[in-house]
Each structure stands twice: as structure tokens, then as C-alpha cells.
Structure 1
Amino acid sequence: MEEAGFKILLDQGCLKIWDQRRRLLAKVPCGANRLYVLKLDNAKPVCLVAQGTSTAWQWHTRFGHLNFRGLRQLAQEEMVRGLPQIEHVDQVCDSCLVGKQRRLAFPTEAKYRAAHKLELVHGNLCGPVTPTTPSGNKLFFLLVDDLSRYMWLILLSTKDQAFTVFTVFHAHAKAEAGRKPGTLHTDRSGEFMARTFIEHCVQEGVQ
């Protein structure tokens, strides 16, 4: 246990054991014979073991979680030898609910769309990509206007250039569109949460 990173301490007639995260696992007092006896209960694995007190639930498991209406039909038509009559056909199996649940369909369109150009701009810093460009760039800063879907793609060599690139984009976009970006939607990664980046957005009125 000591080689595996556990901490073991003998102090004032008591044995204490901590795990790798220094969580106390055991505290054993010293016995009259100077032995520290720790009584443990062995865990009994239940993997691949079908447990159930009801015969119907056992047959439900044997047939790969077939629904109870199907089991009753098998019994009524005598299609399976030894299968008893299934009465509780309206019960629900928790495993069946988890295994057969479906994911909701993705929405065909967003709940919110910008009404004006540069009202909402999506930004993301992607990379590193291989191989690098001849000029040594291995990242790219992608900006997408939510209304027009117009894209700006700027190549970068390091992440710390994202702030400088955004300031240049902000000035050019405001000059071309006649309005400044309203909201910048990002994944809130480190380059976008830097103090200089946030201060610039606050100064320019960009949310």
C-alpha cells in the first residue's frame, strides 16, 4: 500500500490509513496482543447476474428484456415451453427505459437570429493544424456574422495574437458595415478571457 501511494501512520496506539488523495480509509486501534486487526467485508460483484424475486421479471431478462405483453402472448399461444402466464403487463423496466430512450432531434433553426449585420458575431480560435503554413502559421481565427453568415478567417502563429487580430477586425468591420459589432459569442477560452481582451470589448461596447 505504501508503494502504491497510500499513507500509513502508527501513532498513540492507533493505525491510520489514507489513500492517494489523502482521504482517511481506516482507523484501527491497537489490540491487547499489540496487533492492529482490520476487519473488511469482501465486495460481491453482481455483474452478469440476473436477480429478481418474480418469475415474470426473470423471464423478462431471459428474453433480452422483451416487453410483458410479448411474454404474455408467447405464453397464451404456447410458443415457449415452461413459460408461465404473465399477468402484470403494465409494469415498466428501468433498464429498458434507459436502453431504449431516444435523443431529441436537433432544431432546424436557432431560437435567436440577429436582425442586423454585426449584431451577433461568432468567434473561435482553431488549431494548431499540421502542417504549418510556409509563413509559420498554425492557428486560424474564424469570425462569422450571424445574419449574413459572412466569414473572416485570419491566420495566426500564436494564440496571444488573437487580441491584436480582433482589434483590427473590429476597426475594419465598423468601417465597412457602418456599425460596430454588438455581441461576440465565443467558447470563453483563455485568449478571450484575458484582461486586455475584456477591457477592449468593454471600452468599445462589445458584449
Structure 2
Amino acid sequence: MMTDLPQIQAVEGACEACLQGKQHKKPFPSGTSWRAKAVLELIHTDVCGPMRTPSHEQNKYFILFIDDYSRMTWVYFMREKSEVFKVFKKFKNLVEKQSGRSIKVLRSDRGKEYNNSEFDKFCEEEGIEHQTTISYNPQQNGVSERKNRTVMEMARSMLQEKHLPKVFWAEAVYTAVYLPNRDTSATTTRRRNRPSRNGKESQQAPGSPRRPPPSEEIEEETPPRKTKLLSDIYETCNFIMLEPENFETAVKHKVWVQAMEEEIKMIEKNNTWELTDRPKDKEVIGVKWIYKTKLNADGSIQKHKARLVAKGYSQLPGIDYTETFAPVARLDTIRALIAIAANKKWKIYQMDVKSAFLNGYIDEEIYVEQPQGFIAKGSEEKILRLKKALYGLKQAP
């Protein structure tokens, strides 16, 4: 039994510290006091951005306009937030002429792009009631906030599914807005009275499957829900990136020949191997070329890379290698270093070492074949003894 412990007295009544530490914001009401009963009676709007990667047209923002009654959504892309007023006038002119109705109420947050004298004066002259939310209360503009989230989730999913560069985010956002606008579910039948987006009967969304032509014959089987057709290609993706799978294909193209020459030049500069006679008691490992096209963030070609790799899967443990490991710093260590540098206001310099894993010498005696296209004349029967590692070996993770 423990002795000489201090006696703890129970706190009588409410603990003031506990009340202060556990208090939270009162839940925001989930319901709404008023909903529109006609098209354009209430328009929700919000700006999303900036995006890290500009679009093809150098846009970094997009703005949504959502009709409260029909849930019809319009999207416009902008380079700066200051374009909101110009875009709103363009949107107002479009929907009012197409529908024959007038916008009565506009609901937005209190951002400077909405809350300024020019915007307020225009709304007053046009008879539009401009409702703004309370600062730091995005729940009051919940329709726009939730729509932004839905659109961005759909856009990210489409880019991920098709492995498209981030520069295509605007096309993905447009498609994410276009598709729900054409929803024909029972809960959205009232959208039939919505105003046209631009006066056209229908628009083809980028990447969406086209409708099959009408047929007088009744099909015996239900057609597949999703098919891959030539008409299903995004109009902005009008090219395909082809990378050679073997040396015979690559040698026919000048860019890949130059890439292989650069790789061999780097290897020889690094003093990676030496030409020698073929040993009788040693296994010789084969090599092959790997080709990869590196892209920039906007999808443009950065460089064509050819890499010579060894067929390390044929190495024998205990003979060609013993232990394998990758000396990589832990992420926690890097974070701690950055935190200390930020606290001390130090500068951090970053550098990249080309072929970093290939700079270390290897202890084992390893032989590889001469690479295709770069076989030494007069020494076709000879092989290469490695002084340093090649990619693909167990010694080069």
C-alpha cells in the first residue's frame, strides 16, 4: 500500500476550467427559412480557387451560379477574383434573355469580390436583392459551398481515372457541372423549366459518351452501360503518348537515339564499367533499355529519357549480392530539420544528384552484356565488368 500521498479533495459544483475547455460552437440549423418557388428567384454563388496549376487558358479560379429552384448550375473560369463583377453581368444577361425572367435575389459570402460599391450599386439599379452571409459562417451559403465540394470531388476523380495532368482541371470542372445539369432523375423533373445555358438545345460534354443513333429494331440484349468509342475521346486530348517497348522501335526515332547516347555518355563519365574478356566461371547478366517520356505539370514534354537497366532478377543471392538496403532519411527527420530551420530562420538548400545510386562502388564481381546499339567494334565477344552499380541490380535499389 502506498503511503504519504497527498489527499485530493473533490471539487464541489461545476468545474469552471472543464466548462471553458469543453465548450463548442452551437450547431448551425440544418433547415432553411425560405426556398425559391420559381426559376431565377434566388441565385447562389461562390468563387473557388486559386488552383496551384493554371488551366490551358491560364485561369486559376472558377465561379458557380446555382439556381435555388431548379438547381441548374453555371460555371465560368477566371484568372483573377476581380473578374467576378464582369462575369456576373455576363451571366445575368444570358439567363434573363433566355428565360424571360429576372434575377430577384443573389446570395453570396462577404468576399471583397462581391462586397464592394460597384457590385452593390449595380444590384440596386437592377432591382436585385443582394444577400451576404455573416463573416466566418459559410453555412449560410451552404448550397454554393456544398456544390463547390461536389464539383471538385468529381473533377479530381475524373483526372485520376483518366491519368490526366492537373492542367486539365478546368475541363474536368466543366464536365462535373455539365453532367448533373442533364440529370433526368425523378427528383429533378422540375428542371425542365430551367433556362438554357447558352440557348442551345444540347451540348456535348468533353469525354461523355455520345447517344447511339435511333433504331427501329428492338435489341434482344441490353447494350453495355459503358463502351469505349473513338467519339468518347476528350477533344482537348487529341494526341496519344507512345513510348517504344524495345530497342528496335526506339532506334528508328532520333529523340530516343539521342536519349540513349546521353545515358551511355553519363555512364562512361561515371566510370561505371570496363571492357573485359568473358569469364568461364561467372554468370553474365543481361541488360535492356527502358524508355520513358517525362512531362511538365501542364502536360507538355519535358524530356525523353532512356535508361539502361540490368536484369537483376537473374542475380544469385550470396554470390552476386549479400545485403540490399536503401539509405533513405526518415520523413520525421526531414520534418524536424525543416522545423528547426524555420525557427532559426535558416536557409535550406536542396540539390539533386543525377544517378545517385550509381555513384557507389560495388564489392562483388559482376559482369553484364554490352548494351544494344553500343557494342564496341572489334570487341563484340567481350563483356563489361561493373565497377559501380547499374539500375536494376540488387545493389541499386
Once the two structures are TM-superposed, the CA of residue 110 in structure 1 deviates from its matched residue by 2.1
Highest relative contact order (Cα 8 Å, sep 6+), 1 or 2?
2
Relative to structure 1, the CA distance from residue 84 to residue 179 in structure 2 (aligned partners, 3 Å threshold; closer, same or farther) is: same
Whether 2:82 is the aligned partner of 1:160: answer yes
Output one character per residue of 1:72-114: Cα deviation in whole Å (capped at 9) or x when no partner: xxxxxxxxx989897x986212112223335444433223322
CA distance in 2, matches of 1:85, 1:154: 65
CA distance in 1, matches of 2:93, 2:8: 78
Q: Which moved more, 1:163-172 or 1:186-195?
A: 186-195
Which residue does 1:193 correspond to in 2? 115
CA distance in 1, matches of 2:12, 2:33: 38
Note the aligned Cα RMSD (angstroms): 3.0
Alignment of 1:3-152 (within 5 A): 91-152=13-74
CA distance in 1, matches of 2:122, 2:108: 15
Relative to structure 1, the CA distance from residue 201 to residue 92 in structure 2 (aligned partners, 3 Å threshold; closer, same or farther) is: same
- The amino acid of 1:158's aligned partner reads E
Q: Structure 1 length as normaliser, TM-score?
A: 0.51
Whether 2:105 is the aligned partner of 1:183: answer yes
Query: SS where residue 165 of structure 1 aligns?
Result: helix
Which residue does 1:48 correspond to in 2? none
Structure 2 residues without counterparts, runs of 5 or longer: 130-397
Q: Which has the higher helix share?
A: 2
How high is the sequence identity, in percent, across the aligned residues? 33
Relative to structure 1, the CA distance from residue 115 to residue 102 in structure 2 (aligned partners, 3 Å threshold; closer, same or farther) is: same
Once the two structures are TM-superposed, the CA of residue 158 in structure 1 deviates from its matched residue by 2.2
Query: SS where residue 123 of structure 1 aligns?
Result: strand
CA distance in 1, matches of 2:116, 2:72: 26
Relative to structure 1, the CA distance from residue 198 to residue 104 in structure 2 (aligned partners, 3 Å threshold; closer, same or farther) is: closer
Relative to structure 1, the CA distance from residue 90 to residue 166 in structure 2 (aligned partners, 3 Å threshold; closer, same or farther) is: same
Relative to structure 1, the CA distance from residue 194 to residue 105 in structure 2 (aligned partners, 3 Å threshold; closer, same or farther) is: closer
Relative to structure 1, the CA distance from residue 195 to residue 103 in structure 2 (aligned partners, 3 Å threshold; closer, same or farther) is: closer
Count of aligned residue pairs for this structure pair? 129
Relative to structure 1, the CA distance from residue 199 to residue 99 in structure 2 (aligned partners, 3 Å threshold; closer, same or farther) is: closer
CA distance in 2, matches of 1:154, 1:141: 5
Relative to structure 1, the CA distance from residue 173 to residue 91 in structure 2 (aligned partners, 3 Å threshold; closer, same or farther) is: same
CA distance in 1, matches of 2:57, 2:63: 16
Relative to structure 1, the CA distance from residue 112 to residue 134 in structure 2 (aligned partners, 3 Å threshold; closer, same or farther) is: same
Structure 1 residues without counterparts, runs of 5 or longer: 1-80
